[in-house]
Amino acid sequence: MARALWKGAISFGLIHIPVELFPAEQRDELDLTLLDRRDFAPVGYRRVNKRTEKEVPREQIVKGYEYEEDQYVVLTEDELKSANVKATQTVDLIAFVPAADIGPVYFEQPYYLAPTRGGTKVYALLRETLRRADKVGIGQVVIRTRQHLAALMPVGDVLLLNTLRYRHELRDSGQLPLPDADLKAAGVAEREVKMALSLVESMSEAWRPEQYHDTYRDDVLALIDRKVRSKQTHAIAAPAQTDDDTAPAADNVVDLMALLKQSIAGRDAPRPAKPAPRRKSPQARAGAERQQRKRA
């Protein structure tokens, strides 16, 4: 399990639950190293003083706020915390709302909350109360140097804290060139809606997140494997040529009914067996293991 980001408490009314905050997300991105294309030596991220152009030791780096051009107020970690100790150590719940009332556009980043010593019983009580009430707790919490709006909800045995976007952080979708809400004005026939509903019904299934994975990452690793095997590790491919003529014209008339019927027919056909996963080369496996160690 990852290291706790902070230790604090959930607070609402007179209830105080000591907890620890853990990241719930584990990113599985490919860790690509910057290289100098002239000799393929790694190009590192250097901490350089912009005035002297000399590298700065990590222990000499402090945080500062620029209040005027080139004028800074230095702030230590203790000072940032002391500005509002309660805010930096408390998930302060201020309301309970139906989960369905929060639109998906508001959800930002998930975190796990685990009880610390003395908080187990009240943690379990809050978890069960939220589950039976079918509500989520809305509160605010400071993570690093920013205060977030957050939703607290039970997910299985854990209390999940999902940071939310503030309303002012969302752009107005009214500026987008969206189709008319009226189906007739948008050129959509009722028979097309019914056919689309049939397609959705034929593709409906239970939510099983374990069946989905990052196939693009697999394809990139397979490409790396091929380049290693063919000893083309330093070969730089020419930019791909794009053919604008292949793009459909904006005013093309699409026969939706024909496409929907073909889609449904394709769903009814037996699915081909999935190919067996390709074995990675020792070099590709070693690279994947290095990335895993970096994430740990």
In this structure, the number of other CB atoms found within 10 A of the CB of residue 88 comes to 18
More confident residue, 214 or 284: 214
pTM of the entire predicted model: 0.67
pLDDT band with cut points at 50, 70 and 90 for residue 243: low
pLDDT tens digits, 33-50 = 767 667 767 766 677 777
Task: Assess whether pLDDT exceeds 70 at residue 135.
Answer: yes
Q: Average pLDDT over the chain, rounded to whole?
A: 78
Closest to 139 (Cα-Cα) out of 114, 111, 118, 117: 111
pLDDT at 285: 58
In angstroms, rounded to a whole number, what is the distance separating the alpha carbons of residues 202 and 12?
45
pLDDT at 209: 85
Closest to 25 (Cα-Cα) out of 2, 8, 6, 48: 2
pLDDT band with cut points at 50, 70 and 90 for residue 283: low
Task: Assess whether pLDDT exceeds 90 at residue 137.
Answer: yes
Closest to 263 (Cα-Cα) out of 201, 208, 209, 216: 201
Return the top range by mean pLDDT from 7-11, 23-27, 47-51, 121-125.
121-125
For residue 69, CA distances in Å to 52, 54, 62, 171 come to: 18, 22, 18, 30
pLDDT band with cut points at 50, 70 and 90 for residue 226: confident
pLDDT at 214: 80
Task: Judge contact between 40 and 234, C-beta under 8 A.
Answer: yes
Taking every pair of Cα atoms in the chain, the longest distance, rounded to a whole number of angstroms, is 70
**Structural domain boundaries in the chain:** 6-27+81-169
In this prediction, residues 251-267 reach a mean pLDDT of 71
Domain 6-27+81-169 adopts which CATH fold? Answer: Ku70; Chain: A; Domain 2 (2.40.290)
Pairing of strands 90-98, 71-75: unpaired
With vertex at residue 263, the alpha carbon angle to CA 258 and CA 264, rounded to the nearest 5 degrees, is: 100
